Protein backbone atom coordinates (compact mmCIF):
# COMPACT_ATOMS: atom_id res chain seq x y z
CA UNK A 1 0.00 0.00 0.00
CA UNK A 2 2.80 2.45 0.90
CA UNK A 3 4.51 1.70 -2.43
CA UNK A 4 1.31 2.46 -4.32
CA UNK A 5 0.89 5.81 -2.50
CA UNK A 6 4.51 6.73 -3.28
CA UNK A 7 4.03 5.80 -6.94
CA UNK A 8 0.85 7.85 -7.27
CA UNK A 9 2.50 10.80 -5.49
CA UNK A 10 5.49 10.59 -7.84
CA UNK A 11 3.24 10.48 -10.92
CA UNK A 12 1.24 13.48 -9.70
CA UNK A 13 4.46 15.40 -9.00
CA UNK A 14 5.86 14.63 -12.46
CA UNK A 15 2.58 15.57 -14.19
CA UNK A 16 2.50 18.91 -12.33
CA UNK A 17 6.09 19.64 -13.31
CA UNK A 18 5.40 18.85 -16.97
CA UNK A 19 2.29 21.03 -16.99
CA UNK A 20 4.23 24.05 -15.65
CA UNK A 21 7.07 23.53 -18.12
CA UNK A 22 4.59 23.15 -20.97
CA UNK A 23 2.80 26.38 -20.11
CA UNK A 24 6.01 28.41 -19.80
CA UNK A 25 7.70 27.10 -22.93
CA UNK A 26 4.59 27.49 -25.08
CA UNK A 27 3.69 30.96 -23.87
CA UNK A 28 2.58 32.98 -26.84
CA UNK A 29 4.74 36.07 -26.72
CA UNK A 30 3.84 39.26 -28.46
CA UNK A 31 6.38 41.91 -29.28
CA UNK A 32 4.72 45.32 -29.32
CA UNK A 33 6.22 48.20 -31.32
CA UNK A 34 4.55 51.48 -30.45
CA UNK A 35 5.47 54.75 -32.15
CA UNK A 36 4.28 58.17 -31.10
CA UNK A 37 5.02 61.53 -32.75
CA UNK A 38 7.24 63.81 -30.72
CA UNK A 39 6.60 66.91 -32.80
CA UNK A 40 3.74 69.26 -33.70
CA UNK A 41 1.70 67.96 -36.66
CA UNK A 42 2.78 69.71 -39.87
CA UNK A 43 6.19 70.58 -38.46
CA UNK A 44 8.90 70.48 -41.19
CA UNK A 45 11.20 68.28 -39.08
CA UNK A 46 9.56 65.56 -37.08
CA UNK A 47 10.69 63.02 -34.56
CA UNK A 48 9.18 59.81 -33.23
CA UNK A 49 9.37 58.07 -29.89
CA UNK A 50 9.49 54.28 -30.19
CA UNK A 51 8.83 51.72 -27.49
CA UNK A 52 9.60 48.06 -28.19
CA UNK A 53 7.86 46.06 -25.48
CA UNK A 54 8.05 42.39 -24.59
CA UNK A 55 4.40 41.42 -24.04
CA UNK A 56 5.27 38.06 -22.45
CA UNK A 57 4.47 37.35 -18.82
CA UNK A 58 7.23 34.79 -18.15
CA UNK A 59 9.58 34.69 -21.11
CA UNK A 60 12.25 37.12 -22.30
CA UNK A 61 12.69 37.99 -25.97
CA UNK A 62 16.24 38.14 -27.26
CA UNK A 63 18.24 38.28 -30.48
CA UNK A 64 15.77 40.80 -31.82
CA UNK A 65 16.34 41.93 -35.40
CA UNK A 66 14.06 44.29 -37.32
CA UNK A 67 13.78 45.02 -41.02
CA UNK A 68 14.72 48.66 -41.50
CA UNK A 69 15.70 49.08 -45.15
CA UNK A 70 15.86 52.80 -45.91
CA UNK A 71 15.63 53.73 -42.23
CA UNK A 72 17.97 56.57 -41.28
CA UNK A 73 19.32 57.00 -37.77
CA UNK A 74 20.08 60.68 -38.30
CA UNK A 75 19.43 61.47 -34.64
CA UNK A 76 22.07 60.17 -32.22
CA UNK A 77 20.76 56.92 -30.70
CA UNK A 78 22.59 54.71 -28.21
CA UNK A 79 23.82 51.76 -30.36
CA UNK A 80 23.13 49.41 -27.45
CA UNK A 81 19.42 50.19 -27.90
CA UNK A 82 19.24 50.07 -31.70
CA UNK A 83 21.96 49.87 -34.33
CA UNK A 84 21.68 49.65 -38.11
CA UNK A 85 23.51 46.91 -40.02
CA UNK A 86 22.69 47.08 -43.71
CA UNK A 87 18.93 46.58 -44.13
CA UNK A 88 18.49 45.36 -40.55
CA UNK A 89 18.38 46.92 -37.10
CA UNK A 90 19.68 45.10 -34.04
CA UNK A 91 17.66 45.87 -30.90
CA UNK A 92 19.10 45.94 -27.38
CA UNK A 93 22.46 44.71 -28.67
CA UNK A 94 20.85 41.24 -29.11
CA UNK A 95 20.40 41.08 -25.31
CA UNK A 96 17.05 39.79 -23.98
CA UNK A 97 14.24 42.15 -23.14
CA UNK A 98 12.72 40.98 -19.86
CA UNK A 99 9.01 40.12 -19.61
CA UNK A 100 6.74 43.19 -19.60
CA UNK A 101 9.76 45.52 -20.14
CA UNK A 102 10.53 47.95 -22.96
CA UNK A 103 13.43 49.58 -24.74
CA UNK A 104 12.87 53.11 -26.01
CA UNK A 105 14.52 55.38 -28.57
CA UNK A 106 13.71 58.46 -30.65
CA UNK A 107 14.40 59.03 -34.34
CA UNK A 108 13.93 61.96 -36.71
CA UNK A 109 11.54 61.61 -39.67
CA UNK A 110 8.41 63.18 -41.13
CA UNK A 111 6.43 59.93 -40.99
CA UNK A 112 6.79 56.85 -38.81
CA UNK A 113 8.90 53.98 -40.14
CA UNK A 114 7.16 50.57 -40.54
CA UNK A 115 9.50 48.38 -38.46
CA UNK A 116 8.97 44.64 -38.91
CA UNK A 117 10.38 41.79 -36.84
CA UNK A 118 12.72 39.61 -38.89
CA UNK A 119 14.06 37.45 -36.05
CA UNK A 120 13.51 36.97 -32.34
CA UNK A 121 14.12 34.19 -29.85
CA UNK A 122 12.01 33.39 -26.85
CA UNK A 123 13.88 32.59 -23.63
CA UNK A 124 11.75 30.92 -20.96
CA UNK A 125 12.63 29.92 -17.39
Q: Mean pLDDT per 10-residue run, the chain (125 residues)? A: 40 35 56 89 79 94 94 82 94 96 91 93 90
Task: Give the domain ranges of the chain.
Answer: 30-123
Instruction: Write the pLDDT tens digit of every residue in 59-82.
Output: 999 999 999 998 987 678 899 999
Task: Give CA–CA dist 56/59, Å, rounded.
Answer: 6
Q: What is the CATH number of domain 30-123?
A: 2.60.40
Cβ density class 80-109: b for 16+ within 10 Å, e for less: ebbbbeeebbbbbeeebbebeeebebebbb
Amino acid sequence: MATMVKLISLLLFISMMRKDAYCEVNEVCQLIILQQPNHPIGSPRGSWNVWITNGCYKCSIGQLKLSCKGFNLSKKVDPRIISKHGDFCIVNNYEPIAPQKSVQFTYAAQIDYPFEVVHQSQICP
